[in-house]
Amino acid sequence: MSDVDPSPDGPPWEEDAPDGDVVERDPDTDDMFGAPEPAGMREAEAAATPVAATAPPPADVGPAAHADDGSAYTVLARKYRPHAFEDLIGQEAMVRTLTNAFATGRIAHAFMLTGVRGVGKTTTARLLARALNNETDVIDRPSLALTAHGRHDAAIMAGQHMDVVEMDAASHTGIDGIRDIIESVRYAPVEARYKVYVLDEVHMLSNQAFNALLKTLEEPPPHAKFIFATTEIRKVPVTILSRCQRFDLRRVEPEILVEHLARIADREGMKIEQDALALIARAAEGSVRDGLSLLDQALVQGERGETVKTEIVRDMLGLADRSQTIALFESIMAGRTPEALELFRTLYGYGADPVQVTNDLLEHCHAASVAKMLGPQATRLPNDQAQKLTALGAVISAGTLARVWQMLLKALDEVRRAPNPADAVEMAIVRLAYAADLPGPEEALKALRDGEPMPGGGAAPRGPSGGGGGGGASAQLAARPVAAPSLPDPQSFEQVVALIGEKREVGLQMDVQRFVRPVAFKPGAITYESLDGAPMD
């Protein structure tokens, strides 16, 4: 028989403690062993505590408050994502085709959207999914009229609709993901009109995955639609492309993108110069998302309430002043090497990126060539820049511009690979300034045939002349009278090469020695074969 009396009132740990042993529980603990209460439980209890009726209403959160609170800010590319086909910019041809297809009921079972980054492929895919399942009080068929808020719109745009399946093919490259689609496509949609499968970056799928999809894509159930998006259409098998209606989303023209960026800046209550927007549009290269990301970055560069200046955006992008790079191009084409080098060093000192400077020179060469053939309006440049490049193209032959273009392309690759890009640009400037006025093959042959001085020899920069009357070999060559008895009369190919050297056309002489193999020679006519690697000109 036990000596301990049972406690009829409850377990022993609920008995009253002696007066001297009473210990107050820490308010920050909530179990009998004194362990701290989990933070999540305290937050949940606080959230469940009713707020007094007399509590003041929450303060209105204005734009300024959102600007100071980083967690509440949404980037412009997401904030201004199109919610209707009318909001898509630069894709009028695609919208017109889809509008006619939906109006006549000739809706394809599979769509292939292709284009560069940031032109709206994923957004268009979601809009198509909404249009296929567009359902309101007055719309009961597929329709592109998405201005009204349909029953399924919110869930589809949020990616939460059970009948619209989005899959990133870049992270599901194998056959398993496609097998899931094949197994589920046979079942009817739960609540929407169609089951829509959206596959982004579809070119990342493996060959096995593409092959598994072929049969379903060729004969899909009537309730299933497929929408594919890709940036590399050449990697998609032809057997897949032939089963889809293809839309090539175009790059957005700079003028249209500038207007779009200006509207968004105005809606954000920010001011930015028009030339700054033009710089952003040029850097975006036709991508709306890239343009909005750069605009986002530019709007925080200036002080609040002040206009964002063009210089700020130029520094942000690492760009050089276009007028300065045009002056640099003019100096190069005129053969003024010291002046061109000083101009580049000034631009580099201001923070210009050497790669971007080389890109600008390429653009100027292209603009001068286009202006020479089609006029200044074809350059799509501001009037003052177009006029300068048109005047430059008028005095430079098309062959020279083509040669400079090829040399600039080679220089761009060298600048990107060089340990010091600025040094590579300077060496390219020296090479270009010398070669810009070199004669073409026809001019060289004509000069040799007529015994005239080789054109272009004076464009290269000359060193300072020393005192006295001796002018060196160049002075003797210039003073030599051009008479019939003294006309050059080379009797062999080697003499032709030597004659080119005497005319100080070092670059041409080296090219002839390296890339020309004579086949037959007679006075006045040379038959030769160009070796691999010979310059195009």
Query: How many Cα atoms are found within 13 Å in the side-chain-facing hemisphere of 81?
Result: 16
pLDDT at 52 over 80: no
Is pLDDT above 60 for 45?
no
Do 188 and 328 fall within a single domain? no
pLDDT at 332 over 80: yes
Same domain? For 107 and 217 the reply is: yes
Rounded mean pLDDT, 249-274: 91
CATH number of the domain encompassing residue 298: 1.10.8.60
Q: Return the pLDDT at 4.
A: 46
Does some domain include residue 462? no
Q: Choose between 454 and 393: higher pLDDT.
A: 393
User: Do 238 and 263 have their domain in common?
Assistant: no
CATH number at residue 349: 1.20.272.10
Residue 398 shares a structural domain with residue 336: yes
Whether residues 163 and 238 share a domain: the answer is yes
Confirm whether 512 is domain-assigned. Answer: yes
Residue 213 has pLDDT above 50, yes or no: yes
What pLDDT score does 20 carry? 46
Residue 363 lies in a domain: yes
Mean pLDDT of the chain: 78
Over 60: is that where the pLDDT of 54 sits?
no
In a domain, 133, yes or no: yes
pLDDT recorded at residue 515: 77
Q: Flag whether 70 is in a domain.
A: no
Q: For the residues 437-454, what does the mean pLDDT come to?
A: 62
380 and 335 both lie in a single domain? yes
Contacts of 93 (CB under 8 A, 6+ apart): 250
Lowest mean pLDDT among 224-228, 317-321, 392-396, 422-426: 317-321
pLDDT for residue 44 is more than 90: no
Whether residue 313 is found in the same domain as residue 326: no
105: DSSP letter: T
Same domain (yes/no): 337, 375: yes
Residue 161 pLDDT class (50, 70, 90 cuts): confident
> Which of 30-39, 220-229, 430-439, 497-506 has the least mean pLDDT?
30-39
The predicted model gives 358-377 an average pLDDT of: 91
Using pLDDT thresholds of 50, 70 and 90, give the confidence band for residue 511.
Answer: confident
Q: 453 or 98, which is more confident?
A: 98
Is residue 126 in a domain?
Answer: yes
| pLDDT at residue 33 in the model | 44
* 438 phi-psi bin (left φ>0, alpha ψ -120 to 50, beta other): beta
Lowest mean pLDDT among 227-241, 332-346, 396-410, 444-458: 444-458
Task: State the Cα torsion 240-242-244-246 to the nearest 10°.
Answer: 110
What is the SS3 assignment for 10-47?
Answer: CCHHHCCCCHHHCCCCCCCECCCCCCECCHHHHHHHHH
| Out of 87-96, 342-351, 499-508, least confident range | 499-508
Residue 316 confidence (pLDDT) above 90? no
Q: What is the pLDDT of residue 504?
A: 54
Mean pLDDT of all residues in 434-440: 68
Domain boundary among 317, 339, 367: 317
Which range (183-192, 358-367, 505-514) has the least confidence? 505-514
Q: Are 451 and 488 a contacting pair, CB within 8 Å?
A: yes
Q: What is the pLDDT of residues 221-236, one digit of tens each?
A: 999 999 999 999 999 9
The whole domain housing 302 covers 254-317
Higher pLDDT, 51 or 222: 222
The CA-to-CA distance between both ends of the chain, in Å, stands at 118
Q: Tell whether the model's pLDDT for residue 81 goes beyond 50.
A: yes
What is the model's pLDDT at position 315?
Answer: 83
Judged against a pLDDT cut of 80, whether residue 352 lies above it is answered with yes
Sorting pLDDT into bands at 50, 70 and 90, what band is 487?
Answer: low
Q: Quick one: what percent of the chain has pLDDT higher than 90?
A: 32
pLDDT for 245: 93
For residue 506, the model assigns a pLDDT of 58
Q: What is the pLDDT of residue 437?
A: 61
Region 240-260: mean pLDDT is 92
Q: Is the pLDDT of residue 240 over 90?
A: yes
Question: 374 and 445: one domain?
Answer: no
What is the spatial distance between Cα 472 and Cα 453, in angstroms, rounded to a whole number? 16
In this predicted structure, what is the pLDDT of residue 369?
Answer: 92
Let me know whether 199 and 231 are in one domain. Answer: yes
- Which domain-ending residue is among 232, 248, 264? 248
pLDDT of residue 505: 63
**CATH code at position 104:** 3.40.50.300
Arithmetic mean of pLDDT, 123-139: 88
- The answer, yes or no, to whether residue 58 has pLDDT greater than 50, is no
pLDDT confidence bin for 414, thresholds 50/70/90: very high
Higher pLDDT, 499 or 67: 499
Domain-terminating residue out of 317, 349, 370 = 317
Report, as an integer, the average pLDDT of 406-431. 93
286-295, 343-352, 391-400, 429-438: which range is least confident on average? 429-438
- pLDDT bucket at 383, cuts 50 / 70 / 90: confident
Which of 52-56, 133-137, 272-276: highest mean pLDDT? Answer: 272-276
Closest of 488, 516, 491 to residue 502, by C-alpha:
488
Q: Can you tell me the distance from the alpha carbon of 38 to that of 436, in angstroms, rounded to the nearest whole number?
A: 76
362, 408 Cβ separation under 8 angstroms: yes
The listed range with the strongest mean pLDDT (211-215, 470-474, 514-518) is 211-215
CA distances in angstroms from 358 to 23, 318, 344, 350, 376, listed in the order given: 80, 13, 10, 16, 22
On whether the CB atoms of residues 261 and 280 are closer than 8 A, the answer is yes
- Domain annotation covers residue 525: yes
Reduced to 3 states (helix: H, G, I; strand: E, B; else coil), residue 519 is strand
Residue at 64 is within a domain = no
Structural domain count of the chain: 4
pLDDT at 63 over 50: no
Verify that 211 and 281 share a domain, yes or no.
no
Residues 157 and 258 placed together within one structural domain of the fold: no
